[in-house]
Structure formats: C-alpha cells, structure tokens
Chains A and B, each alone.
Chain A
C-alpha cells in the first residue's frame, strides 16, 4: 500500500533563507508527483508537477526534484518570503491503484 510521508511536519525560518521540504513514498510505481500549497481553510494550489520520467521541475523560486528509485522528492524554496507561509503538500499518482495519494503536509512559517 502506497504511503506518503512529509518531513518536517512544521518549519519556521527567517525571511530570506533558502529551505528544503522533504517527501518520501513507499512504492516507486508512480505516474507523477505533484507539489501543492494550501493556505488555511482554502483549496490547494498546484505548484509543480514532475512526471515519473523526469528528475526535476522549476518554477520561479521553486525547484522540485524526484528520485523515483529511492522514493524521494524535495521542494526547494529560494529566498523565502512571509507570503510563502502556508502548508505544503506532496502527492503521488499511484500506479497500482490509479489514485492520488497525499502526505500530511509541512506547515511553513516565514518570519519577517
């Protein structure tokens, strides 16, 4: 059964720092991996999608990597800003069940 884990559960950093969020999954048979941002009580905003054949994707200050064989992905945020404060969720499209399976998220607080 596919399980997705995100570490750390919460993170607080001063403004301007570069940071890394981690995501791990137990079954490498995935179609893709997607990173989302969620503000309190709101829906999810898609940040980056990495296909299973890709190693990384970049969008602005965000860079996501994927190592399918080791079951790991990282989301790198450069020069963090208070507006980056949110919960970050990763999700894998599981090949065995054909479903999107989420981690529990990392709550990020960027202090001004």
Chain B
C-alpha cells in the first residue's frame, strides 16, 4: 500500500517565478491538505481540498492556490515567488476532514 507521495523532492526557483508541487494521497483517502514548514518551525496549514473544492484555508495570500483532481491527487501552485517562500512543503491525506493525517516526504523549495 503506497503512502502519500510528493514530487519533486527538491526545487530551486528564482524570485518572481511560479512553481507547481504535486501530491498523491494514500490509497483510500479522499482529502488532501497542504502545509508550509519553515526551518525550525512547526508546519503551517495552507489549505485543504475535499471533493475537488478548497474547504479550509490558512493565513496565506492568494499567490498560493491549489487544485484537486477526480482521482484525489492535488497540486499546490505558488505565483510570484518570494525569498520567504523557501520552505519544506508537506502534503497530508486523510479519509474526510478531522481524521488521522498521513504525511508525504515533502518538497524542499528554495527561492533565490
């Protein structure tokens, strides 16, 4: 049983560029959440997708957007990258909202 997978593992971009990160949930899960983790900090909730719609959103600007596909996989898009967007981006999946979260290995984004 494959767990949560994310791609790519590492990414280097320059300021002003756009980036797309991808996530495939654990088998049987229908809900995907995205988190940003800065060095030395706990993960911060970005948003959650269920039934292809954004259900909850954290305190992140509109530069952060997402999508969920019919197969429950998800993308996180960040536009107009800033240096401060450099972080580990984590995807988590669950069966419905409020249930046990299973995390992927993360994508390390570096903005130069």
Task: Describe A's contact surface by its main secondary structure.
Answer: strand
Contact yes or no, A36 B88, CB < 8 A: no
Q: Which residue of B lies closest to A45 (CB)?
A: B103
A residues 14-64 with Cβ under 8 Å of B? 31-32, 34, 36, 41-46, 49
Contact yes or no, A43 B98, CB < 8 A: no
Residues of B participating in the A interface, judged by any CB pair closer than 8 Å: 4, 6, 33, 40-45, 48, 55-56, 58, 88, 90, 92, 97-106, 108
Size category, A interface? 20 to 34
Contact yes or no, B105 A42, CB < 8 A: yes
Which A residues lie within 8 Å of B55 (CB)?
A: 98
Contact yes or no, B45 A99, CB < 8 A: yes
Q: Which residue in A34, A41, A49, A104 is a CB contact (below 8 Å) of B41?
A: A104
> In the complex, what distance in Å separates the CA atom of A100 from the CA atom of B6?
20
Contact yes or no, A44 B103, CB < 8 A: yes
Q: How far is the CB of B28 from chain A (nearest CB, A)?
A: 15
Q: Which residue in B33, B41, B42, B90 is a CB contact (below 8 Å) of A43?
A: B90
